[in-house]
Amino acid sequence: MALRMSTLFLRTLREDPADAEVPSHRLLVRAGYIRRVSPGIYTWLPLGLRVLRRVETIVRQEMDEIGAQELLFPALLPREPYEATGRWNEYGPNIFRLQDRKGDDYLLGPTHEEMFTLAVKDLYSSYKDLPLALYQIQTKYRDEARPRAGVLRGREFVMKDSYSFDIDAAGLDRAYQLHRDAYIRIFDRLGFDYVIVQAMAGAMGGSKSEEFLATAENGEDTYVRCPHCGYAANVEAVRVPVPDAVSYADVPAAHAEATPDTPTIETLVAHLNAHFPREDRPWAAGDTLKNVIVTLVHPDGTREPLAIGVPGDREIDEKRLGAQVEPAEVEAFDEKGFAANAALVKGYIGPGALGSESASKVRYLLDPRVSEGTRWVTGANEPGKHVIDLVAGRDFTADGTIEAADVRPGDACPNCGHGLESARGIEMGHIFQLGTMYAEALGLKVLDQNGKLQTVTMGSYGVGVSRAVACVAEGNHDELGLRWPREISPADVHVVATGKDTTRDPEVFAKAEEITRVLEAQGIEVLYDDRQKVSPGVKFKDSELIGIPTIVVIGKSLENGIVEIKDRATGERREVPVDDVVAEVVREVRGSAS
Ligand code: ATP
Ligand code: MG
CA dist., res. 55 & res. 189, Å (int)? 9
- Ligand 1 atom nearest the C-alpha of 147 is 27
462 and 380 in a common domain: no
**β-pair type (550-554, 493-497):** parallel
b/e map 384-421, b = 16+ CB within 10 Å: ebbbbbbbbebbbebbebbbbbbbeeebebbbeeeebe
- Ligand 1 atom nearest the C-alpha of 468 is 20
447 and 311 in a common domain: no
Label residue 103 exposed, middle or buried (CB < 10 Å: 0-12, 13-18, 19+). Answer: exposed
515 and 468 in a common domain: no
Using the mean position of ligand 2's atoms as its centre, give its distance from the Cα of residue 237 in Å.
Answer: 12
50 and 193 in a common domain: yes
Nearest CA to ligand 1 atom 26: 153
pLDDT confidence band for 499 (50 / 70 / 90): confident
pLDDT confidence band for 58 (50 / 70 / 90): very high
**Domain-embedded: residue 228:** yes
- Find the ligand nearest to 161 CA: 1
263 and 183 in a common domain: no
- Ligand 1 atom nearest the C-alpha of 211 is 18
232 and 136 in a common domain: yes
- Ligand 1 environment, Cβ below 6 A: 111, 142, 144, 153-154, 157, 159, 427-430, 462, 464, 466-467
pLDDT beyond 90 at 445: yes
Percent of the chain scoring above 70 in pLDDT: 99
pLDDT beyond 60 at 244: yes
Tens-place pLDDT, residues 510-519: 999 999 999 9
Q: What is the pLDDT of residue 594?
A: 42
154 and 296 in a common domain: no
**Domain-embedded: residue 417:** no
* Range in 24-33, 296-305, 488-497 with the lowest mean pLDDT: 296-305
Q: What is the dihedral of CA 551, 555, 556, 561, to 10 degrees?
A: 80
The mean per-residue pLDDT over the stretch 381-398 comes to 92
Q: What is the pTM of this model?
A: 0.89
Using the mean position of ligand 2's atoms as its centre, give its distance from the Cα of residue 426 in Å.
Answer: 10
383 and 458 in a common domain: no
pLDDT beyond 60 at 531: yes
Helix intervals (H) in 476-505: none
Q: Which helix (H) or strand (E) holds 564?
A: strand 562-567
Q: What is the pLDDT of residue 350?
A: 92
**Domain-embedded: residue 331:** yes
Q: What is the pLDDT of residue 500?
A: 82
The mean per-residue pLDDT over the stretch 494-516 comes to 89
The contacts of residue 518 (CB under 8 Å, 6+ apart) are 582
- Ligand 1 atom nearest the C-alpha of 159 is 16
Ligand 2 is an ion; its neighbours by CB within 5 Å are 430
The residue segments making up the domain with residue 284 are 255-401
CA-nearest of 144, 145, 140 to 156 is 140
**Domain-embedded: residue 32:** yes
Q: Where is mean pLDDT largest: 69-78, 300-309, 350-359?
A: 69-78
- Ligand 1 atom nearest the C-alpha of 111 is 10
**β-pair type (562-567, 550-554):** antiparallel
Tens-place pLDDT, residues 184-236: 999 999 988 999 999 987 655 568 999 999 999 888 999 999 999 999 999 99
pLDDT confidence band for 250 (50 / 70 / 90): confident
**Domain-embedded: residue 438:** yes
pLDDT beyond 70 at 8: yes
Judge contact between 402 and 370, C-beta under 8 A: no
42 and 178 in a common domain: yes
Nearest CA to ligand 1 atom 16: 464
Percent of the chain scoring above 90 in pLDDT: 78
The mean per-residue pLDDT over the stretch 393-404 comes to 92
Using the mean position of ligand 1's atoms as its centre, give its distance from the Cα of residue 485 in Å.
Answer: 23
Judge contact between 312 and 321, C-beta under 8 A: no
Judge contact between 307 and 292, C-beta under 8 A: yes
Using the mean position of ligand 2's atoms as its centre, give its distance from the Cα of residue 39 in Å.
Answer: 21
Using the mean position of ligand 1's atoms as its centre, give its distance from the Cα of residue 140 in Å.
Answer: 10
437 and 314 in a common domain: no
- Find the ligand nearest to 213 CA: 1
The mean per-residue pLDDT over the stretch 118-124 comes to 97
Q: Which helix (H) or strand (E) holds 212?
A: strand 209-215
> Which three-class secondary structure state does DSSP give residue 207?
coil
Instruction: Write down which residue in 372, 401, 430 finishes a domain.
Output: 401
> Which three-class secondary structure state does DSSP give residue 76?
strand
Q: What is the pLDDT of residue 41?
A: 97
CA dist., res. 295 & res. 364, Å (int)? 12
272 and 218 in a common domain: no
Strand intervals (E) in 399-556:
400-401, 421-435, 445-447, 453-455, 457-464, 477-478, 481-482, 493-497, 526-529, 550-554
Residue 9 belongs to domain with CATH number? 3.30.930.10
Residue 303 belongs to domain with CATH number? 3.90.960.10
Using the mean position of ligand 1's atoms as its centre, give its distance from the Cα of residue 427 in Å.
Answer: 7
Using the mean position of ligand 1's atoms as its centre, give its distance from the Cα of residue 466 in Å.
Answer: 10
The mean per-residue pLDDT over the stretch 139-158 comes to 93
Cα dist from 500 to 294, 517, 522, 531, 546, whole Å: 67, 21, 28, 9, 22
446 and 364 in a common domain: no
**Domain-embedded: residue 174:** yes
The contacts of residue 101 (CB under 8 Å, 6+ apart) are none
CA dist., res. 481 & res. 575, Å (int)? 23
**Domain-embedded: residue 250:** no
- Total domain count, the chain: 3
Using the mean position of ligand 2's atoms as its centre, give its distance from the Cα of residue 294 in Å.
Answer: 24
Q: Which helix (H) or strand (E) holds 335?
A: helix 335-340
**β-pair type (329-332, 363-366):** unpaired
**Domain-embedded: residue 248:** no
Tens-place pLDDT, residues 456-485: 999 999 999 999 999 999 999 999 999 999
Q: What is the pLDDT of residue 419?
A: 93
> Which three-class secondary structure state does DSSP give residue 378?
strand
Q: What is the pLDDT of residue 593?
A: 46
Query: Which of 34, 94, 159, 209 gets mutated to test ligand 1 (max ligand atoms within 8 A of its CB)?
Result: 159
